[in-house]
Structure 1
Amino acid sequence: MNEMRVMENRNAKTTREIKRQVLFQFIFLSLFCRVLSQPIHYSILEETEKGSLVGNLAKDLGLDAKELSKRKLGISSEKQYFTLNEQNGNLYVNDRIDREEICGKSPSCVLKLEAVVHSPLNVFHIQVLIKDINDNAPHFQKENIELKVSESSLPGALFVLGNAEDKDIGVNSLQNYHLSPTPYFKLEVKESKDGGKYAELVLQKQLDREKEHALHLVFTALDGGDPIRSGIANIHVTVTDINDNPPVFDQETYKVSLKEDTPRGTSIAQVKASDNDEGSNAEITYTFSSKQKFNLDPHDGTITLTESIDFEERQSYMGIIQATDGGGLVTHCKLEIEVLDLNDNPPEVVLTSVSSPIPEDSMPGTVIALLKVHDKDSGENGDVTCQLRDIVPFQILSSSDNYFKLLTDSYLDREKIPEYNITIIATDKGIPSLSAYKTISLQISDINDNPPAFEKSCYTAYVPENNPSGSSIFTVKASDPDEDRNAQITYSILKSNIEDLPLSSYLSINSETGTIYAQRSFDYEQFREFQIQVQAQDGGSPSLNSSTTMRVCILDMNDNTPQILYPSQGTESSSLFEMVPRSAESGYLVMKVVAVDDDSGHNAWLSFHLLQATEPIGSHTGEIKTARALLEREAVKQRLVIMVKDNGQSPLSATVTLNLVFAENFQEALPEMDTQPSDSDYQSDLQFYLVLALTLVSFLFLVTVTLTITMKLRQSRNPTFLQCFIPDAKTANIFPPNYEDGTLPYSYQVCLSSESRRNELTFLQPTVQIAENILCNVNSDISLMLNGENNLDGKTENMEKPV
């Protein structure tokens, strides 16, 4: 008792500790989920060496290093710039990272990736800030700049030199320009609306062509990096003759909007400058500072697209157009080209995680798969929605940041649909919209949710009486729509309505095939029918079962001879006498023979026959009547042999002998009863039959001796094994079913060969005659056993017992 109390205290204590741990984990997970709802931030410098450590992702996610292999931590991104050590959770640089290649001039360059944690499934967002380093020097599109300046140009005249480009950002980008020392020019640095810097050359001192007709200046662009990088362009200034009217553009800035699918060779704009001079000084020539993807006609100012443009590659272009007249005067204008986005990129669907197979008892709302959808377009052209193409018991919901979850929407049934091919359609909101398809193959695993089912709720088997012990009488069959062990069916007999004998003494069942065997020979006169309940049980855990009722009807066979109740049989030394008045007329009822038969139906139909009579008087019914009046010369005593025969196949019969004494009273008949009958005709007939029987027996004996000698001679020439009840001597040993299990449910005979001295088993094939009457008449499937075999007949014949 003390030990039981100690165990109970321990169990109670363990239960309280488990409850505290579950509560603590629940609170911890709630706080953990709130914290991780925000992205995890890292920052590294571009061009960081491969294999450099970014951070410990497992630690920042709050995951225990011991659980990493179990939780299956992984990362997902469009390009594999990073790699994750699954053992310790460290995030390393996996490839060269060029901030300018990835983000261009964007002030902030962030690489986004996702950490996927399994068991349970969850997604965490990671943002890695790529810091710029000064790895790009400023460069000019033209290394040599040609300027023609009229000697009449007054101090303060401006000459736009254009701008240099630097792929870096911030302090590492272009910061200033520098001009080599010259007394004629100074440099003014200006900032455009987009934040870029460009330089203008300002004339400080009027030029004199006669003194100096050309100047060479060094134009330098500087960034703010450490160390500072620079780019150089050479300015060649040619002093021209007086041209007092420079060209004038009709717009200071030309703005053009182009769709990204604009074909090459399309004329996108035309600039126009005018000059009030005449002659060669009014002849204007146009030049373009930038020749990327565009061409400027130097004579008419038409700008043509020479290469395809892509919004996803670059969103705008800017260039300086210079107009120069024949006298060398120049003027400038800006060209700003905006690229318009079109819906020319279909969505991309990436399957991040999928769980297959899933059990058919999964609750609605179970997460099946996780997908990431991306579209390179912008705005509504890049806004993507997902839906399922077919009507399936699943739904797809948006998760976060272009992630979608595939969930179960209702209960599943493997027996109806064991596999789904789920097609997901990702469609953007562009006009016209573009779509992408992703098909997921999902297997449904089986659970034991279907019990075995019999073909019928009730069966009827008909078995002739005197059947061989061990013969099969019926086979039940059940089916189970589950699979594997859940569909493995075992049959058993539960109970019956016979209480006198144990169930195993008269029936057995094969647990695998459902075949039912008779363990004993049935007797129709003992019991005519009984019922058993058969159960089918599958191999699931927990197992399911169902049962059916089988009605076994015993068919009557003609195995009982008629019994004569009246007149009753006397002893061997006694004789039966019946007194008939001598004055009896034709049709006088002498007596009525009463007989019964324990069988039923046709086997119990009795017919009465007069086998032997001293005089031809009698009847073919149970009533014995006089056929005519007795004549004076006829004997006073008559002898009748009466046979009662049934209607079976083969028929059985019984006989009784009756002595009739024709007398008016008992005193007159008494002397006749005391004398034994002697009939010379009867004795002569008996002697004839005895002689005939002796002759037949002698003939059969001679035939048997002859055949035996012949067989012995044949065996001495060609010895073979003896076969019992088998016509073909080559037939191998036949063993009954379940012989390997050690059971012999069928009757067999052991035959011993005189030469081989070995046993061979053959089955007895008893000939069983089926009674014409069937007591059990039901509209169900019938099993009728003939000659030791099962015959299934789907029809039931209604047999009526004759009256």
Structure 2
Amino acid sequence: MSSKEKSRERSSRKATGIRQRIWNSSGRVLFCLLLGTLWETGDGQIRYSVPEEKEKGSFVGDLAKDLGLEPRELSERRVRIVSRGKAQYFSLNSESGHLSINEKIDREELCGQITQCLLTIEILVESPVKLFAAEIEILDINDNIPSFQEQDTVLEISEVTAPGTRFFLPDARDPDVGRNSLQSYSLSNNQHFSLEVKTKAGGKKYAEMILEKPLDREVKAVHTLTLTATDGGDPARSGTTLIHVKVLDANDNAPIFDRTLYQGKVREDIPRGSPVVRVKAMDKDEGSNSLVTYSLVKLSDKDSDLFVMDPQTGEIKIEGNLDFEAMESYELEIQAKDNGGLSTLSKVLLEVVDVNDNAPEITVTSLFSPLSEESPPGTVIALLNVHDRDSGDNGKVTLSIQENLPFRLTKSLGNYYSLVSEDVLDREVKCCYNITIRAQDGGLPPLSSSQSLELILLDENDNPPFFPQKSYVTYLMENNPVGTSIFAVKAADPDWKENAQITYSVSERPGQEPPLSSYVSINSETGVLYALRSFDYEQFRELQLQVTARDGGTPALSSNVSVTLLVVDKNDNAPEILYPSLPTDGSTGVELAPRSAERGFLVTKVVAVDADSGQNAWLSYRLLKATEPGLFSVGLHTGEIRTARGFLDKDALKQSLVIVVKDNGEPPLSATVTVTVAVADSIPEILADLGSLSTPVNPESSLTLYLVVAVVAVSCLFLAFIIVLLALRLRRWRAARLLESSSGYLGGVPASHFVGIDGVRAFLQTYSHEVSLTTDSRKSQLLFPKSSHTSVILDSPCPESKEVPVILDASKNNELDESLFQNTLVDSSLRNLHL
């Protein structure tokens, strides 16, 4: 046998083994595919046929039309072909909807000896999710020549072999099927042998050579015959092999097996070198002709690597690794041969027992991520395909996912599962999910595998900005610089990206004057409020405004918060003295105190106010400077000037008191006022005292003396006029009797009962007169500042009662409230009125 013929025989054996494996595995694949076609076929099955070996791009069928879709819908609904295998034999044109060949198909490589070669493809429509199945039948063409594994076969036949003895000839292999497969054998013409073609149980034909005429080694020792195998194609194709018959001498008994068929079962995980079966053959000859050797015949290359037979013992052992998923059973042919060349054949059928050695396989067919958080419950998130190569319980798969996830698995069609949402999704609660899908088979022990999916949720603008507080109160010190940062409001938005980008603004109320924009402004990005003017607490103490936070979503969402701005007082106002009022010409007011006043006598009261508030407006009064220290005291908080002791003869007639009024601010501010107190029982006494203190007038001061006398005279006239005027008024108020009794005691009333100097001022200022008294050695002024009111201090019989001021309004022609005045006279039991 030539090397070329041996190579062809090895190739034929290899092809035969491949076809046998494809036949066994394709049966299971086609069974699953046929079940899958029930998914969407209904009454109409999508089925095409195409010859093998077609070029890439060859037309198979109009899939869009058969699915009832327009070509434009293929891309819109994301129609595509899904396949679990690595080879993609078909492709779908999304524009025309035609199904075409994507890779040249070899039917023999794909289906082996299966008569009807069907490929099932799965068509996935993603919107909405729908699954279809289509069958494509691969038609066989006569592209293979029948071939023998060996180009030369040697048969040793004893010359005593009886006619009618049959000899097995080598089988030819033709990968084609149907009429294109092997159909007949023929033997070249000869005198001794004939050929009989038989059919095996599987429909495969084989040839047996029959000895028709006894052989005579002495006539011819070797017979060379040509065996031809022919297929049924059009045109027919054939292959040949040479049969060399070597005639042996005198061994007329062939070995005989004790069984015609040996059967056994073997686990697929059996260790190498383990025996699986032992055969036995007997030969009736004696001597060397009875010695039998065993061998495996007609093995493919793959089978020859799996099994080995001991030629002496007939024991068959495992040399490789069995795989139930690749081959479920093996049919081996064994030969027993004696030394004379006689042989006989038998068969060994080994059934491989499945072991749970394959974990389930999870294939993610489609994953719809990212997904909108507003997707309703029941939305398909992923489409999964689960497959286990094992069989029986070992191939039954259950799927599960982690607990506490808002998802569930539902079975779809065939081995397909859908992962769907079970609850409403919220990106603000959880923005992404790592979902682990676990598949476990039913074997013992069970095997499992897992597949992780990442689901990302797309944000929707479903959350408005929110402020941590319902309202804010902030404080700002008055006299702030323009542009001062007042306060920062901060809102949060649990959304993402532009949906969480917040801008701030101040809301204006319709018709608000002046507008808030003239007071404050806000940074739209940071929410910081700035003052646009300097605030004065004394004019403006509180500002109510509303800040709006708006996100960048579509449509935008917003929320409001109330902000109250309180202006904080600053000690920026000094105390203002209301009484005694400060004249504009620099003169000092005069207060009258009777010389007979005792300790604690109320001389006057300094009244001051402070425009500030709080402790900045708390005022305290102190005596800063006095003509006679220790003679007067000032109430710390009341401002009342009282005598600290009785007057002495040595005390000066004119007492000047400097009163300081100070607030409680930081730093404190103050104001001062000078109060002049004239110590005398009456105005004439004041004038007399001032005259007695004067010295002889020298020629240079004579003019001053004349002026003083003139002023005193004029003052007396005015004083008399005031007394007459008061008498007339009192008569009109029906108090004539009281006035007559009072006029009788004008000279004897005590000095403590007097009309205050303010009353004198009011009458004198009505006529706009001033009296100035001047001496040579001491100069003093008795000032009557302009005023529209007259204060009359009325005496009370109760020594502890305070003076009751009665206001006489000169602007109303000195018409007093008659009832008020009468009541005052009666309640006070007035006896005298002194000026």
- TM-score (normalised: structure 2): 0.69
Letter aligned with residue 609 of structure 2: V
1:45 maps to which residue? 51
Structure 2: how far apart are the matches of 1:560 and 1:677?
Answer: 38
Structure 2 residue 520 is matched with structure 1 residue 507: yes
Q: Kindly state the Cα deviation for residue 68 of structure 1 after the two structures are TM-superposed.
A: 4.1
Match of residue 138 from structure 2? 130
Paired residues of 2:40 and 2:131 also in contact (CA < 8 A): no
Larger CA deviation: 326-335 vs 147-156: 147-156
Partner in structure 2 of residue 552 of structure 1: 565
- State the distance in 2 between where 1:82 and 1:502 align: 74
SS at match of 1:100: helix
- Provide the C-alpha distance between the structure 1 equivalents of 2:43 and 2:394, rounded to a whole number of angstroms: 28
Q: Specify the alignment match of 2:279 in structure 1.
A: 271
Partner of 2:537: 524
Q: How many residues align?
A: 651
Q: Look up the SS of the partner of 2:773 in the other structure.
A: coil
Instruction: Show the counterpart of 1:713.
Output: none
The answer (yes or no) to whether the contact 2:632–2:645 under 8 Å persists in 1 is no
Moved more, 140-149 or 315-324: 140-149
SS in 2 for 1:454: coil
SS in 2 for 1:453: coil
Q: Tell me the distance in 1 between the aligned counterparts of 2:677 and 2:320.
A: 140
Cα distance per residue 1:99-129 (max 9 Å; x no partner)? 1211222233222223334544543322211
Partner Cα distance (1:252, 1:188) in 2? 21
The question of 1:592 aligning with 2:575 is answered no
Structure 1 residue 253: Cα displacement: 0.8
- Report if aligned partners of 1:637, 1:672 keep a CA contact under 8 Å in 2: no
Contact 2:773 2:779 in 1 (8 A): no
Instruction: Determine whether 1:61 maps to 2:67.
Output: yes
Superposition pairs of residues 98-247 of structure 1, within 5 angstroms: 98-150=106-158, 153-161=161-169, 163-181=171-189, 184-205=192-213, 215-240=223-248, 242-243=250-251, 245-247=253-255
Paired residues of 1:58 and 1:64 also in contact (CA < 8 A): yes
Cα separation, partners in 2 of 1:578 and 1:291, compared to 1, 3 Å: closer
| Offset of residue 252 of structure 1 | 0.8
Match of 1:626 in 2: 643
Q: Distance in 1 between matches of 2:399 and 2:247?
A: 67
Find 1:370's aligned residue among 383, 386, 389. Answer: 383
- Determine which of 660, 663, 669 is the counterpart of 1:646: 663
Summarize the Cα distance change of 1:573–1:307 in structure 2 as closer, same or farther, 3 Å threshold: closer
Contact 1:158 1:201 in 2 (8 A): yes
CA distance in 2, matches of 1:458, 1:219: 106
In structure 2, C-alpha distance between the alignment counterparts of 1:549 and 1:209, rounded to whole Å = 125
2:372 to 359, 382, 406: 359
Q: What pairs with 1:378-777 in structure 2 (closer than 5 Å)?
A: 378-388=391-401, 392-494=405-507, 501-567=514-580, 572=585, 576-616=589-629, 617-621=631-635, 622-664=639-681, 668-669=685-686, 671=688, 676=773
- Say which SS state the counterpart of residue 634 (structure 2) adopts: coil
Q: 1:449 Cα deviation (Å)?
A: 1.7
Distance in 2 (alpha carbons) for counterparts of 1:65 and 1:497:
59
The structure with the larger Rg is 2
- The answer to which of 496-505 and 106-115 deviates more is 496-505
Cα distance in 1, alignment partners of residues 414 and 338 from structure 2: 57
- Structure 1 unmatched ranges of 5 or more: 1-32, 684-803
For residue 776 of structure 1, what is the aligned residue in structure 2? none
Gap regions ≥5 residues in structure 2: 1-38, 691-711, 713-771, 781-835
Residue 280 in 1 paired to residue 297 in 2? Answer: no
**1:672-706, Cα deviation, whole Å (9 max, x unpaired):** 586637696999xxxxxxxxxxxxxxxxxxxxxxx
Secondary structure (helix, strand or coil) at the match of 2:316 reads: strand
Alpha-carbon separation, structure 2, partners of 1:147 and 1:309: 33
Listed one character per residue, the Cα deviations across residues 561-611 of structure 1 (whole Å, up to 9, x for unaligned) are 434444455675986444433333333333333333232222212122234
C-alpha offsets along residues 53-84 of structure 1, whole Å, 9 cap, x if unaligned?
A: 11122222222234444444433333122233
Q: Is the 8 A contact 2:148 2:172 kept in 1?
A: yes
Distance, in Å, in 1 between the alignment partners of 2:410 and 2:773 is 115
Equivalences for 1:254-333 in 2 at 5 Å?
A: 254-292=262-300, 293=304, 294-333=307-346
Tell me how far 1:272 sits from its aligned partner. Answer: 0.7
Number of the residue aligned with 2:3: none
Provide closer, same or farther for how the CA distance between residues 650 and 672 of structure 1 changes in structure 2, counting only shifts above 3 A: farther
1-side partners of 2:669 and 2:341: how far apart?
147
> Aligned to 2:66, what secondary structure does the other structure show?
helix
Q: Look up the match of 2:81.
A: 75
* Per-residue CA distance 1:376-415 (angstroms, 9 max, x = gap): 5555555555444686444444332433333333333333
**Cα 1:478–1:609 shift into 2, 3 Å:** same
**2:559 partner letter:** S
RMSD, aligned α-carbons: 3.6
CA pair 311-590 structure 1, distance change in 2 beyond 3 A: same
Alpha-carbon distance in structure 2 between the residues aligned to 1:571 and 1:326: 159
